[in-house]
Amino acid sequence: MPKPNIAVGLDIGTTKICVGVAEIFPDPYEEPRLLCIGQAESHGLRKGEIVDFEAAREAVREAVADAESKSDLEIRSAFVGISGGHLGCINNRAGIDIPRGRETVTPDDIETVKLRGLEVSIPQTNCIMHPLVRGYRLDGRDVVDPVEMPGRRLEAEYHLIHGVTTRVQNVVRLVKDVPLDTDEAVAAPLASAMGSLDESQRERGVLLIDLGGGTTDYIVYRDGTVCHSGCLAVGGDHVTHDVSLGLHIPLARAERLKVDEGNAVLGVCRPDERILLRAEPGFAAREIEREMLHQIVHCRLREVFELLREAIGAERHLAHLGAGVVLTGGASQTPGLAHLAEEVFGLPVSQASPPPFSGLTHATDHPQLSTVLGLIEYARVTAGARPPSGFFARMKGALRGIFSR
């Protein structure tokens, strides 16, 4: 029996570093076996990007060491998530004429039209990370896979995810210094989608929002393909910062208060209800108004959703999202957040559904692990361990190893 491959996902987040290790099996119907999740507190990152190289490197080393200890394996390489406000996207269409004297489309034609599809105007500082195929047309007819089909004119539509080259390379250089090889640098919104959505949601149309500590990754699917994606440089730590400023309490205390008592919905408590903050070294006991805390949380998270509506061009997409909005990420656990999202987007809201894993299955219930689980799923799909149909066939269009050198 063929041996399974080991796949490692590395999510370098603003507040936490996560390393997922799993066995991927040759049998496409066998679930990957999650061996462990290694974690460490993040340092040296702000809004998803590296600001202190050495501090970030040591945090990654700590998370990798934790994963190695738990899995009893030596980790040599990983699929690495890339986040940050520098991520962008553009949709493009390209076409070629099939050479005369040949009756059918070949794989070389697919590559040629893809190269044409990459001829777009993006900032000179940026590079294309993923050219995702949205669909093919052959002689004006929509087709799923045109290879070996007769035709004269082949067209393809692509969703191109791009990012600032130097910022992506900084992450790859950081990983190399751990030392690890980068199997592939994967845009975090795409990884989150693979760790949160099923095929039905993609086909019906869905907006995925991954609310992390320092960033909010998002991706929009219509008719099974990606039509918009990106990252906002705001996240859960911005709520914490506002709680700290508004209530005049230390950041660490504000974070605990937000997690333990925060709510994104107003009017769920009595007007006179108060929260007792117990005394700690350097902090005198005091009371705060619960509704004031809720107002701060509500206003900041509403602002994030309003920014997101603007970023995706809500008027173009929301009417086509039959599966509504899906929330994931650590900050998605804020009480009342689903209600607030329904109010802002006018769509039904649900929590993410992770891909099926065997082994350490309880870990898949944590929304803050969506990206790292999605990186493992990405590794499985691009390794060809799943039948090439639907969304997974289109994923084959993703460029691999751009930043491995």
Q: Is 117 part of a structural domain of the chain?
A: yes
Q: What angle do CA 395, 67, 179 make, to 5 degrees?
A: 75
Q: Is 390 part of a structural domain of the chain?
A: no
Shared-domain flag, residues 214 and 343:
yes
pLDDT at 269: 87
Of 101, 134, 161, the last residue of a domain is 161
Alpha helices, DSSP H, located in 72-211: 107-117, 165-176, 188-194, 199-204
Q: Is 105 part of a structural domain of the chain?
A: yes
Shared-domain flag, residues 223 and 285:
yes
Q: Is 359 part of a structural domain of the chain?
A: no
For the stretch 149-190, pLDDT in tens is 999 999 999 999 999 999 999 999 999 999 999 999 999 999
b/e burial code for range 184-194 (CB count within 10 A of at least 16 → b): bbbbbbbbbbb
Domain count, the chain: 2
Which 3 state secondary structure label does DSSP give 76? Answer: coil
Q: Is 65 part of a structural domain of the chain?
A: no
Q: Is 224 part of a structural domain of the chain?
A: yes
pLDDT at 207: 97
Domain around 256: 196-353
Q: Is 383 part of a structural domain of the chain?
A: no
Which helix or strand (DSSP H or E) is residue 17 part of? Answer: strand 16-24
Sign of the alpha-carbon dihedral angle for 237, 214, 34, 207: positive
Blockwise average pLDDT, block size 10, the chain, 405 residues: 79 95 86 94 92 96 96 96 95 94 91 94 94 95 94 96 96 96 96 94 97 95 95 94 93 91 91 88 86 95 96 90 96 94 96 87 84 94 56 40 37
Of 232, 207, 205, 204, which Cα lies nearest the Cα of 219? 207
Of 161, 177, 208, the last residue of a domain is 161
For the stretch 186-211, pLDDT in tens is 999 999 999 999 999 999 999 999 99
pLDDT at 2: 53
Q: Is 168 part of a structural domain of the chain?
A: no
Say if residue 179 is preceded by a cis peptide, omega within 30 of 0.
Answer: yes
